[in-house]
């Protein structure tokens, strides 16, 4: 049996699900785009091709092998995008929560059923139908659970709004001893530079007391200030609009002092090194064209 344990974003990683870009399928049509960044690249003819994305994920996998992390990959579905494992489920403490994802993506959960079968069934939960929640919006920070949401009355009109207040309240009920704090995120159907698809598109902790943050990703300044107060402004790396678009906050921590980052994130990577982090740089710019990056591609199962 897998003894799940995830209490934060940065403790030493032992086991993870890493998505797959193999048999990724043809470039989606304009009508099939789930987010504005993919739409932008579909229209421009620059949507990423399978062999480039497979090479990027292989580079990510090689870093996990270097640090002796057990890596599970989804069973392959022909002509289907299975890159973003973070969307389909997440672990809090020792509980595996299956996401209520966009209906088209239900098969992605089936493809990791062999992993779920290794978990104590009483530790696997599926929220009721009205609960919308995806792993990219759920961020653990010891006694805190941060959750990205969208509180606009037009929630149902936004395919980019993935976690609703039912989702926030579900997690509050499931983990009554945690401090559950929701963050109202800026959404756009048309402009990727103004769309925080998930919380990890505008905030993520690194190390033991630091974080990467995009102030304008939050609809309410009070939400941004909550994180500034919790972490301390001097411990936060503030990213700009174009850096948010390039997914600077969507790095991935293998340990409190080891961060996997995109090789072109020069300003961020220099800051991390100056703060004492080992930065494992890999190419991931093609996958980024789908409005997801390193954290999005992973589903951590066990951390120390």
pLDDT digits (tens, 9 = 90+) for 233-257: 999 999 999 999 899 999 999 999 9
Q: What is the pLDDT of residue 135?
A: 93
**Alpha helices for 15-71 (secondary structure H):** 36-44, 50-66
**Beta carbons within 8 Å of 11's beta carbon, 6+ residues apart:** 255, 256, 303, 304
Q: How far apart are CA 143 and CA 135, in angstroms?
A: 18
Q: How far apart are CA 172 and CA 23, in angstroms?
A: 38
Q: What is the pLDDT of residue 32?
A: 76
Closest CA to 181 of 153, 210, 148, 203: 148
* pTM score, whole prediction: 0.94
Residue percentage of the chain with pLDDT more than 70: 94
- What is the Rg, in whole angstroms, of the alpha carbon atoms belonging to the chain? 18
pLDDT band for 156, please (50, 70, 90 cuts). Answer: low
List Cβ<8 Å contacts ≥24 apart for 278-281. Answer: 280/63, 280/66, 280/254
| Other residues' Cβ atoms within 10 Å of the Cβ of residue 65 | 9
pLDDT band for 153, please (50, 70, 90 cuts). Answer: low
CA–chain centroid gap for 251, Å, is 9
Q: What is the pLDDT of residue 28?
A: 79
CATH of domain 13-303: 3.75.10.10
Q: How far apart are CA 17 and CA 196, in angstroms?
A: 24
Model pLDDT for residues 216-225, shown as the tens digit of each residue: 999 999 999 9
Domain ranges of the chain: 13-303
Instruction: Please check whether residue 159 is in contact with residue 134, taking contact to mean a CB–CB distance below 8 angstroms.
Output: no
Asked if pLDDT for residue 260 goes beyond 80, the answer is yes
């Amino acid at each position: 049996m897998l003894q799940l344990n995830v209490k934060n974003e940065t403790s030493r990683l032992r086991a993870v699900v890493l998505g797959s870009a193999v048999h990724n399928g043809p470039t989606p049509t304009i009508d099939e785009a789930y987010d504005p960044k993919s739409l932008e690249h579909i229209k421009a003819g620059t949507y990423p091709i399978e062999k480039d994305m497979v090479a990027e994920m292989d580079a990510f996998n090689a870093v996990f092998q270097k640090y002796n992390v057990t890596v599970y990959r989804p069973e392959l579905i022909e002509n289907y995008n299975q890159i973003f494992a973070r969307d389909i489920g997440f672990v809090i403490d020792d509980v595996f929560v299956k996401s209520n994802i966009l209906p088209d993506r239900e098969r992605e959960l089936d493809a990791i059923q062999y992993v779920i079968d290794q978990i104590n069934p009483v530790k696997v939960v599926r929220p009721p139908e009205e609960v919308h929640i995806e792993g990219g919006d759920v961020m653990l920070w010891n006694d805190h659970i941060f959750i990205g949401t969208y509180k606009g009355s037009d929630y149902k009109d936004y395919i980019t709004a993935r976690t609703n207040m039912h989702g926030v309240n579900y997690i509050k009920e499931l983990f009554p001893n945690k401090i559950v704090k929701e963050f109202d995120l800026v959404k756009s159907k048309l402009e990727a530079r103004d769309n925080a698809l998930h919380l990890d598109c505008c905030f993520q902790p690194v190390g033991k007391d630091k974080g990467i943050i995009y102030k304008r990703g939050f609809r309410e300044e009070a939400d941004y200030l909550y994180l500034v107060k919790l972490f301390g402004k001097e411990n936060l790396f503030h990213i700009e609009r174009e850096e948010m678009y390039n997914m600077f906050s969507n790095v991935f921590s293998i340990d409190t002092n080891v961060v996997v980052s995109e090789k072109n994130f020069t300003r961020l990577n220099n800051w991390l090194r100056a703060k004492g982090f080992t930065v494992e740089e890999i190419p991931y710019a093609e996958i980024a064209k789908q409005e997801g990056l390193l954290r999005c591609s992973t589903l951590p199962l066990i951390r120390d």
